[in-house]
Amino acid sequence: MSRTPLPFDPSGIQLDRRQGLSRQLYQALRERILGGQLGSLVRLPATRDLAEALGVSRNTVVRAYDQLYAEGYLQGRIGDGTYVAELATKARSKASHPPVKPSAPAQSNLLQRLQTEYLPPPRLDAPRAFRVGIPAFDLFPFETWARLQANFWRHPPMASLGYADAAGDPQLRELIAAYLRNSRGLVCDPGQVIITSGAQQAISLCAQMLVNVGDGVAVENPGYRAAGKAFALAGAQLHGVAVDEEGFDTRQLAGLKDCRLAYVTPSHQYPTGVTLSLPRRLQLLEWAAREQGWIVEDDYDGEYRYRGTPLSPLAALDQHGRVLYVGTFSKIAFPGLRLGYLVVPPTLTEAFSQVRALGVRHSEIGTQAVMAEFIAAGHFQRHIRRMRRAAQARRDALLNGWPAAVPGCQPLPVVDAGLHLSVRVASRARELELVQKAAAVGVELNALSDYWLPDSPGSADDRAGLVLGFAGVSEDHIAKALTALKKAWG
């Protein structure tokens, strides 16, 4: 049988017989066309010949040719076989080695900023003592949540499955407004509530919305670095403001130029645990009104108060529409839910809704509807009480079991709020030693040094300390961790 010689060496085509042969052949031929080994207008072998050369069925070759033909890599002449297409290869021969312009463009500004502003990867293992930022989510009523999820998804309202309100589920926003009114004395219209993907998105939206590149932003120092970095990523120049026993030192605001936004954690400063005093609150509000600036008030753990009365949030005192209040379900339910909210001044509600529409359209509908039902049915309020009791008991387990005297480390403060506490250590070297020895026995301690801005004043020793989350694991686990610590620190 006479055979046309093949226009390429078929022995280079290695086909794996456990997978789709025609797709592999298609890919091998496409690669050769794009790479130039099979040049423009080269005639391909008859399907029968190539099938024989490769030891595959003719059908396999026909399917591969069909695909290449359909995609425009091949062209046929009636009665005259199949050729590599002309246009494709013209473009291809340039495409495979395109001349790069001499002035290679710089990276985008955001990519450049990302080289310094990013978060360390999260810890992906199960909670352990003394991780910060997580509540007692082992106590979450998952059975109830599962039931509510199933109820919602069995018969979801058809109108809710398409594109929805960018600001969030209207019922959930009403319930949040009512909750804030009752629990924080914060009176707002449900229209001011914008549902977000956790507090981080709330903060990040504020950064995008309110900060121009080069603007100054005042942040607590030490403070919540994930917030600072979100502002820095938007192009802000961060100004660290000291935190003393009254909280964020508003007196330092006067010295900051071009600074019209302050990010604060008034109810329980992160990470020091201080509460912002009333005079400072009023001074901060006055500053924002005078500068026509903004205050982003992050009330991340306002539900946790073990003694005394909480102060009104800045948002409740604000008479000039300058406060954006950040709330989250992460510390009552769990962070993986990614459900939080913003309460913004009425002048900004439309803009925030629009920015969310262009950014994400809206949040997933099931989580919002199920949380609304969880609140409306009373589970949420019950769970807050359960979580508060648990966090307090876990705090007590930490305070009672902590070693009597840790050299170089101050005694633990009796915190009356929140899910963590922090304590000063005499030197950076000692801080590292305590953290590393703890890590060696499986106990997570966080260095206070990590919470400061890079260009903070004072010596490294001035910034040393420990931050301990006490709510994430049971008293039992805390006791075991403390026993391990005592041994490790000897």
- Rounded Cα distance between 26 and 66, Å, is 9
Q: Classify 206 as helix, strand or coil.
A: helix
- In Å, how far are 152, 169, 340, 370 from 142, measured between CA atoms? 15, 22, 19, 12
CB of 374 to its own copies, least distance (A): 12
Residue of 34, 384, 390, 479 interacting with its own copies (CB under 8 A): 34
- In Å, how far are 246, 265, 270, 420, 422 from 462, measured between CA atoms? 19, 22, 17, 20, 14
CB of 372 to its own copies, least distance (A): 14
Footprint of its own copies on 135-164 (CB under 8 A): 137-138, 140, 142-143, 145-147, 149-156, 158-164
- Rounded Cα distance between 243 and 298, Å, is 16
Per-residue binder mask for its own copies (CB under 8 A), 243-282, x = binder: -----------------x----------------xxx--x
CB of 413 to its own copies, least distance (A): 19
Please give the size of the binding site for its own copies, defined by CB under 8 A.
126
Select from 123-131, 171-179, 384-392, 397-405 the region that touches its own copies (CB under 8 A): 123-131
Look at the block and give the residue holding tokens 């024989």.
Answer: 52
Footprint of its own copies on 76-115 (CB under 8 A): 85, 87-88, 90-92, 94-96, 98-101, 104-105, 108-111, 114
Nearer to its own copies, 300 or 402 (CB): 300
66 HSE (CA, 13 A, CB side): 8
11 near its own copies, judged by CB under 8 A: no
CB of 293 to its own copies, least distance (A): 8
Q: Which two tokens stand for residue 216?
A: 């100054």
Nearer to its own copies, 168 or 273 (CB): 168
Nearer to its own copies, 379 or 486 (CB): 379
Footprint of its own copies on 369-408 (CB under 8 A): none
Footprint of its own copies on 447-466 (CB under 8 A): none
Residue of 32, 38, 82, 165 interacting with its own copies (CB under 8 A): 165
Select from 207-215, 396-404, 454-462, 475-483 the region that touches its own copies (CB under 8 A): 207-215
Nearer to its own copies, 195 or 466 (CB): 195
Footprint of its own copies on 317-376 (CB under 8 A): 317, 319-320, 334-339, 351, 354-355, 357-367
Residues 8-41 as b/e (b if ≥16 CB within 10 A, e otherwise) read: bebeebebeeeeebbebbbebbbebbbeeebebe
- Rounded Cα distance between 270 and 298, Å, is 10
Residue of 7, 27, 58, 450 interacting with its own copies (CB under 8 A): 27
Q: Which two tokens stand for residue 321?
A: 């529409």
Q: Classify 81 as helix, strand or coil.
A: coil
Structure-derived torsion over alpha carbons of residues 225, 226, 228, 232, reported in degrees to the nearest 10 = 130
Residue of 55, 79, 102, 122 interacting with its own copies (CB under 8 A): 122
Nearer to its own copies, 95 or 414 (CB): 95
- Rounded Cα distance between 262 and 176, Å, is 24
CB of 467 to its own copies, least distance (A): 16
Footprint of its own copies on 286-305 (CB under 8 A): 286, 289-293
- Rounded Cα distance between 230 and 316, Å, is 25
- In Å, how far are 141, 289, 459, 487 from 406, measured between CA atoms? 38, 46, 22, 12
Nearer to its own copies, 339 or 398 (CB): 339
- In Å, how far are 98, 332, 457 from 136, measured between CA atoms? 57, 8, 36
